[in-house]
Every structure is written in C-alpha cells, then in structure tokens.
Chain A
Amino acid sequence: EPEVTQTPSHQVTQMGQEVILRCVPISNHLYFYWYRQILGQKVEFLVSFYNNEISEKSEIFDDQFSVERPDGSNFTLKIRSTKLEDSAMYFCASHRGHNTEAFFGQGTRLTVV
C-alpha cells in the first residue's frame, strides 16, 4: 500500500542551525501539508502546498520556515535558524484531491538543543 515517508525519523540540532525535513508524498497526490505537534499538545497546521506554491499558511509559519518541492517526488520543510521552541514532531501529509482523505507520514522528531 502506498505511503507517505519522512526522513529523518529523529534529528537533533543546535540552536541557530538550519534543518531540512524531507517527505516523499504518495505519487499521484496533488496536495501537500506540514503539521507539527509540540510534546503533549495537539497537532497544528503549518502550511499547505498545491500546484508548486503555498496555498495556505498558519501564523506559526513565519519567515523562518520555507517549503519546496524541488523535484517530482520530494517535499521539504526548511527551518532557517532553529529555536528551542521549534522542538516538536513534524508531520507531512498528502491528499489525492480536493476534500479527500489525508495520509500522514510517520513524523520527524526534531530536538533543538
């Protein structure tokens, strides 16, 4: 069964460093998302991406964050200068079409020290 894959599963980085979280969505899906979950809290929407551009972003998604689909398969989230409060589980999700089921990756646990 097709699945969304995320790498790495766990990343530790020093405060101020740049990190890139990678996702490979399901191949025929057109809508891509990033969510994050701070430990012990609920999952929050960060950004959606469709037709090679951001379609919606939350207030959390400030200039520190960027997304890219550099080729036909990968979807990346870059955090430019990490802060301690960026420590969280980051989930990638994809949808086949508008208003369809979301498929989530297994998550990347980011720890900023």
Chain B
Amino acid sequence: GIQVEQSPPDLILQEGANSTLRCNFSDSVNNLQWFHQNPWGQLINLFYIPSGTKQNGRLSATTVATERYSLLYISSSQTTDSGVYFCAVGNNRLAFGKGNQVVVIP
C-alpha cells in the first residue's frame, strides 16, 4: 500500500511563529487532503489539494504531485492551532500518515 511519512512528528511553537509541516508519499495519487484533529477527536478538513497551492486564512498548502510531497504552512500561529495534523493520500481509499503533533505555547 501507499506509504505516508509526515515530519516533524512533534513541534513546539511560540505563539506568533510560522511553521511548515511536510508529507511525503510513496506513489502517484489523485487525492491528497490535510486534516486537523481537534481535542474531541474530530477530523477537520483543512485542504483538498492533490496538486497546486491553496490558502485559507493563516493556513496554506502546496502539493508537488510529481515529486510526491505536500507542505502545510501555518503562519502567525495561535494556541488554537495546537493539535494533530494529518496528511491523507490515495486514489479513493485514503492512507493516513502518523500525524504532526503541534503545540503552540503562549
């Protein structure tokens, strides 16, 4: 199956800092999504981004499909950005990475 690696696994940020999360995947895919898992366990869909660049407020994402990676940028981080960020890829069924655990401290 498709392998998905996310880095860094853990990240501690000072409030206001910027960060980049990376997702590498092992095979060509038609779907790539980034999720934020909130404290209640819900998966909040951030981006559907099989290729190209998208922005939503302080978050943006870029996927370079030909090189099999995607980046999630968090700018001016806030404490509410804390949580686990998952990258999921596939061609219908999704394979998830292990996540990036982000802690933003005031």
Closest to A104 in B: B43
Please indicate which of the listed interface residues B40, B45, B94 has the most CB atoms of chain A within 10 Å of its own CB. B94
Q: How far is the CA of A33 from the CA of B93 in the complex (A)?
A: 8
Q: Chain B interface (Cβ within 8 Å of chain A)? A: 30-31, 33, 35, 40-43, 45, 48, 86, 88, 91-99
- From the candidates A37, A103, A107, A109, name the one contacting B45 in the complex (CB within 8 A): A103
User: Could you give, for residues 84-95 of chain A, a 1 whenever the CB lies within 8 Å of some chain B CB and a 0 otherwise?
Assistant: 000001010101
What secondary structure prevails in chain A residues at the interface with B?
strand
Query: Which of A11-19, A20-28, A43-51, A66-74 interfaces with chain B?
Result: A43-51
Q: Which residues of A line the B interface, CB within 8 A?
A: 31, 33, 35, 37, 41-45, 48, 56, 89, 91, 93, 95, 98-104, 106-107, 109
Q: Which residue from A42, A101, A107 sits with its C-beta under 8 Å from B86?
A: A42
Additional A-B contacts beyond A93-B94, A101-B33 (4; CB < 8 A): A42-B86, A43-B86, A104-B43, A106-B40
